[in-house]
Amino acid sequence: MSIRRSLYEGFKNVHNKLHNVKTTSDFQTTGRLTPKEFVEAGDELVQKNPVWQWVGGPESVQDYLPKEKKCIVYRGAPCTERAPVDSTNASPEAVDEDDFVLTEATQVALPATALEEEKVLTWDEDDDDSGEEDVVATATDNSNLRVYDVYIVYDKYYQTPRMYLVGYASDHVTPLSMGQMKEDVYRSNYGKTVTIDPHPVLSIPCISIHPCRHAETMRSLMHRMQENYNREKANDPNAEPFVFPTHLALLLFLKFISTVLPTIQYDVSSGFHLV
């Protein structure tokens, strides 16, 4: 870590110790969340998409969050290809107003881990409890497959969600080195919006997507949604004012953050689109 970065992280730590957590609810206008709103949005994400689960931690870590709800994790998000390393291999890209390099990657449905045999339990109203199982063979030859545990943590300083990712080989046991994890980061983002940082709850090195522009980006997206809504309802005198539901904040977060690391497939939400 550079001296400049160390000083910056030290400043944030001192700031967090001296200042109380955010308590004012103003997500619609600022894109920032209170810890209470983060927990409510996390509960909604876990309910809508059960692949996400709450992770607990010591009460002394992020003591403004419940002991059993320190962060949210999706274990085993597939990563089927390495990030482009030069412009000749890159997907179409654009740099948004928040300095993120945005790319498009093909989303491929894959199992979280590669297994020689996968036991699939099927049942219907006519099934009995005999315990018989249908065994389905699955393909295993995917040398490019890696998997990531994806964590969403509340960042007190920026008052937004922050994403951390821990990489593994396809067996979901062998950890990737920092060099290998860098291979899954778009080069234009690494060292700027994407860095290697210790996990605030687990204290292990992770890919981290820096949250300095998260609030601004989410506010911009909500403003865009509001403009579209106002156009659609322009001739409706009974239309209600546009208000983005705060409990859906993490769905919005995942939609925009999935463009930063497009080869890691952690956005599993459905029926929710950025417009």
Q: Which residues pair with 79 in a beta bridge?
A: 146, 264
Task: Using CB atoms within 10 Å of the CB of residue 21, give its burial: 0 to 12 exposed, 13 to 18 middle, 19+ buried.
Answer: middle
Q: Which of 71, 79, 206, 212 is an active site residue?
A: 212
Give the helix ranges, DSSP H, for the chain: 3-18, 27-30, 35-48, 178-182, 214-232, 249-257
Q: 41 in helix, strand or coil?
A: helix
* Nearest-5° Cα angle at 221, 215 to 222: 90
Cα–Cα dist 207/16, whole Å: 22
Cα–Cα dist 34/53, whole Å: 20
212 annotated active-site: yes
What are the phi and psi torsion angles at 18 (to 5°)?
-90, -20
Both tokens assigned to 221: 């997206």
Asked if 232 contacts 49 with a C-beta cutoff of 8 angstroms, the reply is no
Active site residues: 212
